[in-house]
Amino acid sequence: MGRFGMSPAAYPDPDRLRAANINPATGLATDYLNHYNEVAMLIATLGDIPEMRDSVLEWRPVGYPTHFARTGFTDRGLAIAAYITAPRDAKAQFLAAQVEIDARIGDVQGRLAAANDVPPGIAREADDIFAEIARMGGIINGGKAVPLVQQSAEQDLVDSFFP
């Protein structure tokens, strides 16, 4: 039995994962980032196209399995299975990044909702959101895009959740 109570034969095949653009080491796919790129692009346009305000306010975070269940991703079942069997540390880092980005977007939505118009400079918040998306992409890709010092600090934070 594997560490998740499944026999090793039940784990998704690494070659099949790679073919589906799912990182075999983390069990995660960058396709999930589309969910965040969409709202980040909307936020970035707010300075020039304030009509996008309602679209930003309507956006809601969607969890990883739900995202794949709703999309036209060809290997969505494989993506969900790989997520379920993903290594605990990779999933913990991913979920911590997800909480951060959801909070950052929620803050922008709160500021938009509290104002009658688009607050000046709010479109610049997209830069930080895109940086969070890149950080999440680094986690999905096994930490390659995350600076080593930041990765170590993040791991310390994640480790603090699991005594």
What's the pTM?
0.79
| Within a domain: 2 | no
- CB burial of 7-44 (b: ≥16 within 10 Å; e: otherwise) equals eeeebbeeeebeebebbbebbbbebbbebbeebbebbb
* Residues 126, 25: Cα–Cα separation, whole Å: 29
**For the chain, what percentages of helix, strand and coil (3-state, to nearest 5) are there?**
65, 0, 30
pLDDT in tens, 6-17: 434 456 788 999
Residue 84's domain comprises 9-161
Report how many domains make up the chain: 1
pLDDT in tens, 92-132: 999 999 999 999 999 999 999 999 899 999 999 999 999 99
pLDDT in tens, 22-68: 999 999 999 999 999 999 999 999 999 999 999 999 999 999 999 99
| Within a domain: 4 | no
| Within a domain: 59 | yes
Residue-level pLDDT at 6: 40
| Within a domain: 38 | yes
